[in-house]
Amino acid sequence: MTNQVENAQLSYGKKDAPVKVEVFLNLACPYCASFFAMAEEVLPEYLENGQVQYIVKHYDKPREMLLIGALINTHLNYENPDRVREIMKELFAEQSTWDKWTNHEIKHMLEEKYGLKEEPENIDTSLNVIAEAIRRGVKMVPTVFINHKEYQYPTEITAAELKAEIEAALKQA
């Protein structure tokens, strides 16, 4: 397994960590909100210990219910991944309040609440993530890879299973 991870703009933990947890998600997906919350509970100790690198890949999947997520992604400042993670936590937690808003309302909220503006370079990042998702056969969000082993949440992995998979991968490392 290569230690380099493609499209790791939103990466947390050490780059040389033995376990890579990659997630393809979309901010407008309720299952992604559930996975993200679960990961935020399970992963911090592994991130702090240098055992896991957690890579979030916002997948601007061309599906009507996910288009607002793609709009939000155009405003995230990938130069500040820690701030993006905090914003994602809040947006996922409040998803049911904004998920039916218009594009204009979403843009206004992003500007007023978070001070975000459209980031033109995110288009290239989005296209790169889409190309990677196609190459890797990612059909739905969230799709999680733990050291290249694929899981499709919510049916294939729980918090306990995520922790167990990380522990097993650490033993193999």
Question: Which residue, among 76, 71, 35, has the nearest Cα to 54 in the 3D structure?
Answer: 35
Quick one: what percent of the chain has pLDDT higher than 90? 92
The reported pTM is 0.94
Ordered structural domains, the chain, with CATH: 10-172 (3.40.30.10)
pLDDT tens digits, one per residue of 1-60: 445 799 999 999 999 999 999 999 999 999 999 999 999 999 999 999 999 999 999 999
**Could you give phi then psi for residue 12, rounded to 5 degrees?**
-130, 140
Collapse the DSSP code of 26 into the 3-class scheme (helix H, G, I; strand E, B; otherwise coil) and give the result: coil
User: In angstroms, what CA-CA distances link 34 with 16, 47, 50, 92?
Assistant: 27, 19, 24, 8
